[in-house]
A and B are shown apart, each in its own frame.
Chain A
């Protein structure tokens, strides 16, 4: 009657095949109170964190059916699904706070490029497209998950109960993503001469977008107690990255940082050239069939 196999296959079957469909349940029991801050600012902040996850998930999912081995295909899809789950919760929260009749899909599919607030790091083509390879992909995963985990660990204490709950759930996921990236950095750096070249080149490429991750945005500064100031996550980020790189026998990249444009970058809707193509692909069906239901 009670055997181990049941536990694997029968319990929560719905989740078993497509975890990621039960999003409404993900935050069951969490209060929906909106803290007494400027609503536009809180909406914008939810979009920042949500867009990071959405756009990065879109990139990671490009590996599906293209990974170096089937086991890795499954692993990268898991990470993409985790991030897509975070994106949905955060965009839904943005819609709720905004209270303008939009939902997660309206926000994901019907905003224009300038209204997306993700950091530029997540929109780059780091492979499997021509902009990178598995080494670049792992380099970005290390940088992104280390940064986001450090931010989310602080966001757990947010005065917004939804943000706090999303962070609490996300911390576990991101810790796994970071571990996955770190394991691969060790193997690529310590594998063959070629793989070492690839991970070094990958780190060089993505490192150029790290400063932007820690620049405090006026909205983050304004939402004291609700938002996390990313500058506060810098020390932990540096420490984790140094630990991983030193275990891998690598040096921290010294790449020139990509500048903002008149002081504006991803958080302000100023993106790289890659972003337009990414959104064109993401949005075109939804936009070309107004009134359709999915």
Chain B
């Protein structure tokens, strides 16, 4: 069948697949699932940091944090739009999220307990996201790749603001330094889990690599993140909470300890500290806003009829 061959050639030649091209159903379904999950992560991801906007300890930090959380709304929006080029509908995707039928990144099911968490999320969580996302700027589906270019440009500033907050806190009082270390202790392992299960157990990786939706395996990206983070931690003056973390000259990479996959699967399956709270928050915003969305639609309809 030459449509399928043409699709495969496009992907193999590293060209982009565009919305009106023929594509295999599985490719479309995989993309919708992945992009939706990504969009949901941006929107749910507004909550843990949004939790601190009202309490940000300086006006400059407040402006930075509000702008950052606002960016995340924008990222979610770009990504939902990319999913919509595949025939999905934002409203439907949101309803699936609220009904628990689509997932988002488990990292956002952890609570933010101190202001240091705002910095550590910027540094580690956004850093991990960048490792995941930069290769997606070259993913085979054009609208997704283009959305990711916009997202990545902004994310790098997110990471920088986080790191800069931590540097500032480390230069402050003893109490502040302790807050940073305590926050790193809590977020390091969940950040490593952001790359997903080990390659051996990752059911979707192989086909996604073949379709060039994914460009690197979970373990490759995780390794890259660890290698990137170690010198940053040293410069910051914090200890990463892993006694097995050591440079392996032979591999040219850092070795690191075993991830607690039991915890990972618990959180994925809904037992994380904040799963219910995050989805409930999103559900409430969506449902409380229904009358406003409906009013605007009704107004537009009346205007159209009057014209």
Contacts and interface: CB of A to CB of B under 8 A. Distances in A.
Interface of A: 9, 13-14, 16-21, 23, 54, 58, 61-62, 64-74, 77-78, 80-81, 84-85, 87-88, 91, 104-105, 108-109, 128, 133-134, 186-188, 190-192, 194-195, 198, 281-282, 284-286, 289, 291-294
B46 A84 contact: no
5 contacts: A13-B157, A65-B43, A72-B292, A81-B66, A292-B57
A20 B61 CA distance: 10
Contact of B150 (A9, A13, A74): A9
Interface string B59-85: 111111011111101101100100000
Contact of B77 (A16, A17, A71, A195): A71
A285 B115 contact: yes
A187 B285 contact: no
Given A18-B63, A61-B54, A71-B77, A293 B171 contact: yes
Given A67-B289, A78-B70, A282 B54 contact: yes
A13 B171 contact: no
A235 B115 CA distance: 46
Q: B interface, by DSSP: helix, strand, loop or mixed?
A: helix
B157 A17 contact: yes
A65 B69 contact: yes
B298 interface: yes
Nearest to A20: B63
Contacts of A69: 289, 292-293
Given A17-B158, A66-B281, 12 more contacts: A64-B50, A66-B285, A66-B288, A81-B63, A84-B59, A88-B60, A105-B58, A128-B288, A191-B298, A285-B57, A291-B172, A292-B169
Contacts of A191: 294-299
Contacts of B175: 289, 292
B37 interface: no
Interface of B: 43, 46-47, 50, 53-64, 66-71, 73-74, 76-77, 80, 115, 150, 153-154, 157-158, 161, 165, 168-169, 171-173, 175-176, 281, 284-285, 288-299, 302
B46 A65 contact: yes
A16 B295 contact: no
B58 A286 contact: yes
A9 B153 contact: yes
Nearest to A194: B291
Closest 4 CB pairs of A and B: A68-B289, A191-B295, A195-B295, A18-B67
B135 to A, nearest CB: 19
Nearest to A293: B172
A18 B65 CA distance: 9
Contact of B53 (A61, A192, A198, A294): A61
A76 to B, nearest CB: 9
A192 B290 CA distance: 12
Contact of A18 (B57, B153, B161): B161
Given A13-B157, A65-B47, A85 B63 contact: yes
B50 to A, nearest CB: 5
Contacts of B293: 68-69
